[in-house]
């Protein structure tokens, strides 16, 4: 059974980082010094588990009053397409709204832009490159959820 929760311990954060390393560094070739960017201590982390195995991760940072940035959303390759990304985003959005965040922004890799579009995010930029991968900026108003 898959469960998503906020990372509460150093071990939970390490699980999130392990998922991110597998997806971004090992699979997509993002340099580790870009992936581990020094912002993790200021972020709220979320981890999806199947039993004790971490299979998905995401982080949220409040970048200005009322505005949160969704970052590092990742699901291990064999588990994609099972709704794990949706479950991560639902929990992240729920916690963001309860913390008074009104707007969420994110940089989506272009190949998953439709995933975020289906969740109600709107594209707010042209395509740009980040870590050698094409992205777009997206935004969603979560005020009143």
**Going residue by residue through the chain (145 aa), what tens digit of pLDDT does each one get?**
899 999 999 999 999 999 999 999 999 999 888 898 889 999 999 999 999 999 999 999 999 999 999 999 999 999 999 999 999 999 999 999 999 999 999 999 999 999 999 999 999 999 999 988 999 999 999 974 4
**What's residue 34's pLDDT?**
87
**Quick one: DSSP state of residue 78?**
G
Both ends of the chain: CA-CA distance in Å?
A: 27
pLDDT at 145: 44
- Quote the CA–CA distance of 132 and 145 in Å, as a whole number: 35
Reported as half-sphere exposure (CB side, CA atoms, 13 A), residue 89 has a value of 21
Global pTM exceeds 0.85: yes
pLDDT value for 127: 96
Per-residue pLDDT, 44: 96
Domains and CATH numbers, the chain: 2-141 (3.40.630.30)
Q: Tell me what pLDDT residue 88 has.
A: 97
What gap in Å lies between CA 26 and CA 112, rounded to an integer? 18
Give the pair of three-digit tokens for residue 27. 């699979």
């Amino acid at each position: 059974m898959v469960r998503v929760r906020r990372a509460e311990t150093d071990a939970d954060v390490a699980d999130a980082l392990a998922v991110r390393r597998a997806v971004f560094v090992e699979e997509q070739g993002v340099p580790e010094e870009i992936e581990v960017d020094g912002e993790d201590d200021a972020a709220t982390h979320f981890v999806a588990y199947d039993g004790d195995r971490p299979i998905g991760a995401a982080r949220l940072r409040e970048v200005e009053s009322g505005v949160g940035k969704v970052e590092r959303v990742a699901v291990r390759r064999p588990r994609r397409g099972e709704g794990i990304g949706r479950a991560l985003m639902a929990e992240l959005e729920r916690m963001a709204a309860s913390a008074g965040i009104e707007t969420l922004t994110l940089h989506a890799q272009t190949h998953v832009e439709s995933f975020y579009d289906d969740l109600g995010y709107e594209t707010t930029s042209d395509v740009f490159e980040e870590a050698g991968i094409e992205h777009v900026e997206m935004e969603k108003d979560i005020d009143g959820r």
